[in-house]
């Protein structure tokens, strides 16, 4: 009985020791456990937030893309809408003109592209980039002064100067043909500097859409 009692006592003591030691240890152990839980919650919340944000961004992006697509479509419509068919008696074929494909001008007896016209050609090139199927013809025109024949040579040079510039902006050469009309097709029938300035031009027509 005495031996059994001792074992029980030892056990009790052990348990007592365990019990005595346990509270401290439990406190120590319990603190990090609680923190992890909080962090997990926070992380979950954060993830959710990020997810939401991401979703929102994606939605926003989609919206922007949609808007862009809509705008592009509208622009396309605008370009399509801007095309005006042009038939000239005695000159083969139907061509189109667009106010989005803008004219450039030249100084008297010159065929170099002026800085302000370089910007116009950049816009024209951007438009052509957007519509890779479009083929154009660059027309060189002159004012009435000087002889018709020399003006025809000058117009040839002007049309080719415009073509070269568009090529330098990345438009392939096979999309641009040239023609010189010399002084034969004035825009303004007047005989003053104002009319002459308008008539010294590079004009672009669309041969195929």
Partner 1 sequence: MKKISCLFFFLLFLTVIPSAEARVYLDINAPTFVQIPIVLPKWKGVNPTPPGLPVKIYEILANDLTLSGFFKVIGFNRLPDPLKDKVGIPTDVSLVEWESAGGEILLIGETAWKPGDQILRLKYHLFDLVERKHIVGKQYEGPPQALRKMVHRMADEVVLQLTGEKGVHNTKIAFASARGEGKEITLCDFDGAEMKQLTQNQSLNLFPAWSPDGKKIAFTSYLRRNPDLYLMDPDGQHFRRLTSFPGLNAAPAWSPDGKKMALMMGMEGKSDIYIIDANGNNPKKLTTGHGNEASPTWSPDGKQIAFVSDRSGSPQIYIMRADGSNVRRLTYEGGYNTKPSWSPKGERIAYCGRAEGRYDIFTIGADGTGLQRLTSNSGSNESPCWSPEGRYIAFSSTRAGGSKIFVMNASGFNQRPLTSAKGGESSPAWSRQLE
Of 4-12, 47-55, 120-128, 153-161, the window that binds partner 1 (rule: CB under 8 A) is 153-161
Of 23-31, 34-42, 160-168, 194-202, the window that binds partner 1 (rule: CB under 8 A) is 160-168
- The tokens describing 69, both together, are 């697509």
122 counts as binding partner 1 under rule CB under 8 A = no
1 counts as binding partner 1 under rule CB under 8 A = no
160 counts as binding partner 1 under rule CB under 8 A = yes
- State the minimum distance, in angstroms, from the CB of residue 116 to partner 1: 24
Query: Between residue 91 and residue 110, which ones bind partner 1 under the rule CB under 8 A?
Result: 91-93, 109
CB count in 10 Å sphere of residue 58: 10
Nearer to partner 1, 75 or 160 (CB): 160
Query: Between residue 55 and residue 94, which ones bind partner 1 under the rule CB under 8 A?
Result: 88-93
Contact pick of 117, 128, 166, 180 for partner 1 (by CB under 8 A): 180
The contact set with partner 1 (CB under 8 A) reads: 88-93, 109, 137, 145-150, 152-154, 156-157, 160, 163-164, 177-181, 184-185
């Amino acid at each position: 009985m005495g031996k059994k009692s001792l074992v029980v006592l030892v056990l009790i003591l052990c348990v007592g020791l365990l019990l005595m030691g346990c509270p401290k240890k439990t406190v120590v152990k319990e603190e990090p456990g609680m923190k992890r839980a909080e962090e997990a919650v926070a992380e979950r919340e954060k993830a959710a937030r990020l997810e939401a944000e991401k979703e929102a961004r994606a939605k926003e992006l989609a919206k922007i893309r949609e808007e862009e697509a809509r705008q592009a479509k509208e622009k396309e419509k605008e370009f399509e809408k801007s095309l005006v068919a042009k038939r000239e008696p005695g000159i083969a074929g139907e061509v189109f003109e667009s106010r989005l494909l803008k004219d450039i001008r030249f100084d008297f007896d010159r065929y170099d592209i002026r800085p302000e016209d370089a910007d116009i050609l950049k816009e024209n090139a951007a438009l052509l980039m957007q519509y890779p199927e479009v083929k154009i013809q660059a027309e060189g025109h002159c004012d009435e002064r000087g002889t018709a024949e020399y003006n025809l040579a000058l117009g040839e040079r002007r049309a080719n100067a415009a073509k070269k510039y568009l090529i330098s902006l990345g438009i392939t050469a096979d999309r641009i043909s040239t023609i010189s009309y010399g002084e034969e097709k004035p825009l303004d029938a007047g005989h003053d500097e104002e009319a002459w300035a308008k008539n010294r031009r590079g004009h672009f027509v669309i041969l195929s859409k």
